[in-house]
Structure 1
Amino acid sequence: MNRRNFLYSSGMLAALNASPAMAMDVIVGHKTPERGIQLYMVKEDMERDPAGTLKQLGAMGYTQIESYGSDKGIFWGYSNTEFKKLAGGFGLQLISSHYNPCSLAEFDKLAAQAAEIGMKYLVCPWLGPQKSIETFKRFADYFNQRGAICKKHGLRFGYHPHDYPYKAVDGQLPINVLLSNTDKALVDFQLDVYYAVTEGADPYAYMQKHKGRFTMAHMRDVLKKRLPAGSKDESACDMGEGIINFPKFIAAAQDNGMKYFFVEQSRFYKETPLQSAKKNAAYLKSMRLV
């Protein structure tokens, strides 16, 4: 049994365990966060009908959205101001966006457009596994450069770790190298609690050790009984149906400087992505942090 499977099965992450009923827990001293969603979760719907999909998300109770580098760009074929107006008409604020690889000049232009409509973040969503830890050190320089561009325009730069930054390369964890080699004045991190847990990392320890650096989160739950390693599907489920105590996670995250929380389910059973989005919105609405 490898380390991450041991952590998962042995209960060393017991602090994350929760029953679905935990959604109704009340945590004193914290603010119920705005309900956010990453649009990649409903990408097929957005590709077919951006306006209609945003309308449905707003009706579900979401108030914040995070976009991504679609074939139509982060503004879905609209200008930046047009997309802001469209989303705002359904009660949605575009907080951040993942972006596709681009030159520094292209990134500077994108940052200016994002800042013009009041966005808070541009986020690098993917680096990919690498054979050398030195490559991740070069990525840190890449992040610092783009962080400086974002700062110039009045917004922030972020990085979204998937599973591979928690896998050792040359005896080091890339996530640690990236945290150590990026300027905290320029680069924030977006914690995907699902990947942290399934890779055997402790999200609480990371947030506490690097207080103020994990300012955003992606949220989906982890099946109580994981799928076998190498399975086609991920061991993901809707919030409140797995092992993660989300009221506790959100409270701890707020204590350590996290501001924005986005639902991003990736595995759908008999439900559609929009049905999953609605279920997760209802879960968040039932949660009370006071």
Structure 2
Amino acid sequence: MDYKRRDFLKIAGTFASGVALTGVAGQLAGCGTSSKLSGKNNTFGLQLYSLRDDLPKDPKGVLRQVASFGYKQIEGFEGSKGIYWGMSNTEFKRYMDDLGMQMVSSHCNWKQNLEKKADEAAAIGMKYLMCPYLGPQKSLDLFKKAAEDFNKAGQICKQRGIRFAYHNHDYSFKKVEGQYPQDVMMQNTDKDLVDYELDMYWIVAAGQNPNEWFQKYPRRFKLGHVKDRGGKETTTLGKGNIDYPSLLKAAQKGGMEYFIVEQEQYEGTTPLAAAKDDADYMKRLKI
């Protein structure tokens, strides 16, 4: 089954216009700017959804360009040609090796054939499979049920030597029945089975201070999506109003290990040009 991401533009339109991103950045500003980004292997990755329109046309050619930009890691998603873009998992791994890159994780349809997907991911040294989107739920009980399902998925992955994680959008940082769904999910998942990928664009867009969540749940956010916010849309890193030098310093202190660039809109540029500009920003970044 093809995996389809939600319409980000529609979601972005629902945000309150008064989100004070500079306030979030200001609360993090004391982190300083003294050292280079030092994630796993001192590197950073790209979520391939950023190139969703280009990849189907020439997967190998596009991946070669990604490698030439300086990315050493990639995070996949389950598209029309599967997680491995028409290749077997081992063929994909060999091609990644040739390019000097590693596929560390993938978003996927975790409710379908997870055992098979986890076997294939483990066989090529991937670290994570994850739920990319749950969607707003009508009650906290439904988020608790999702947490139970995440634990089951985490057990399947753990048995194969990999990890399971959940990737947030804005809805989990907006209260339902007086509580944040993100709290409910994190408090009802076993830390030995389930990790979290913090999408730093969406948490800031929801008006939350990421640093508070790093402190509240140390070492639970093992991966992060790095994308900037201009107005109510994503923009090329460094052109928006998220203070990443400070934010990523806090993320590293909180135990984040993988920093995955993602780009969703491309006003005034192209997906590949944006991926290159984002890589240039990450290479220059000092935190």
- TM-aligned CA deviation for residue 274 of structure 1: 0.5
Structure 1 residue 4, shift from structure 2 partner? 5.8
Q: Distance in 2 between matches of 1:6 and 1:55?
A: 41
- Look up the match of 1:43: 52
Match of 2:23 in 1: 11
Change (3 A) 1:14 1:5: farther
**Identity fraction in percent:** 43
Instruction: Tell me how far apart the structure 1 counterparts of residues 165 and 119 of structure 2 sit (CA, whole Å).
Output: 16
Question: Aligned AA for 1:250?
Answer: L
**CA positional deviation for 1:30:** 6.0
Q: Which residue of 2 aligns with 1:237?
A: 235
Q: How many residues align?
A: 271
Question: What is the letter of the counterpart of residue 186 of structure 1?
Answer: L
Assess if the C-alpha contact under 8 Å between 1:16 and 1:243 holds in 2: no
Counterparts of 1:76-115 in structure 2, within 5 Å, are: 76-103=85-112, 106-115=113-122
Residues in 1 aligned to 2:197 and 2:171: alpha-carbon distance in whole angstroms: 14
The CA distance in 1 between the partners of 2:36 and 2:44, in whole Å, is: 19
TM-score, length basis structure 1: 0.88
Deviations 1:212-233 (A, max 9, x none): 100000011122xx2xxxxxxx
Match of 1:199 in 2: 206
Contact 2:24–2:204 at 8 Å: present in 1 too? no
For residue 27 of structure 1, give the secondary structure of its aligned residue in structure 2. Answer: coil
1:143 aligns with 2:141: no
Deviations 1:244-283 (A, max 9, x none): 2212222221111111011101111110011000000001
Matched AA of 2:247:
F
Deviations 1:94-137 (A, max 9, x none): 0000001434xx10111011001000000100111111111110
> Do 2:211 and 2:250's aligned partners in 1 also have CA atoms closer than 8 Å?
yes
SS at match of 1:89: helix
Structure 1 equivalent of residue 81 of structure 2: 72
Gaps (5+ residues) in structure 2? 1-13
Instruction: Give the alignment partner of residue 219 of structure 2, picking from 195, 201, 212.
Output: 212
Matches within 5 A, 1:259-270: 259-270=257-268
State the distance in 2 between where 1:86 and 1:134 align: 44
**Contact 2:73–2:104 (Cα < 8 Å) also in 1:** yes
The residue type equivalent to 2:71 in the other structure is Y
* Structure 1 residue aligned with 2:281: 283
Residue aligned with 1:222, SS: strand
Instruction: Report the secondary structure of 2:67's partner residue.
Output: helix
Q: Contact 2:219–2:255 (CA<8 Å) still a contact in 1?
A: yes
Task: Report the CA distance between 1:11 and its aligned residue.
Answer: 2.8
Q: Deviations over 1:187-222 (max 9, x none)?
A: 000000000101011111101110010000001112
Structure-2 change in CA distance of 1:29 and 1:70 (3 Å): closer
RMSD value, Cα:
2.2
The answer as to whether partners of 1:216 and 1:261 remain within 8 angstroms in 2 is yes
Task: Classify the secondary structure of the residue corresponding to 1:11.
Answer: helix
Aligned 1:129-168 pairs, distance under 5 A: 129-168=136-175
Judge conservation of contact 1:81–1:117 (CA < 8 Å) in 2.
yes
Is residue 248 from structure 1 mapped to residue 255 from structure 2 by the alignment?
A: no
User: Which TM-score applies when normalising by structure 2?
Assistant: 0.89
124-133 or 49-58, which moves further after superposition?
124-133
CA contact (8 A) 1:27 1:247 kept: no
CA distance in 2, matches of 1:239, 1:219: 8
CA positional deviation for 1:6: 4.5
* Residues 11-39 of structure 1 deviation map (CA, whole Å, 9 limit, x = unaligned): 3552357xxxxxxx842486264120000
Is the contact made by 1:5 and 1:200 (CA closer than 8 Å) also made in structure 2? no
Pick one of 34, 40, 48 that aligns with 1:27: 34
| Cα displacement string for residues 54-74 of structure 1 (whole angstroms, at most 9, x for unaligned residues) | 000000000000000111111
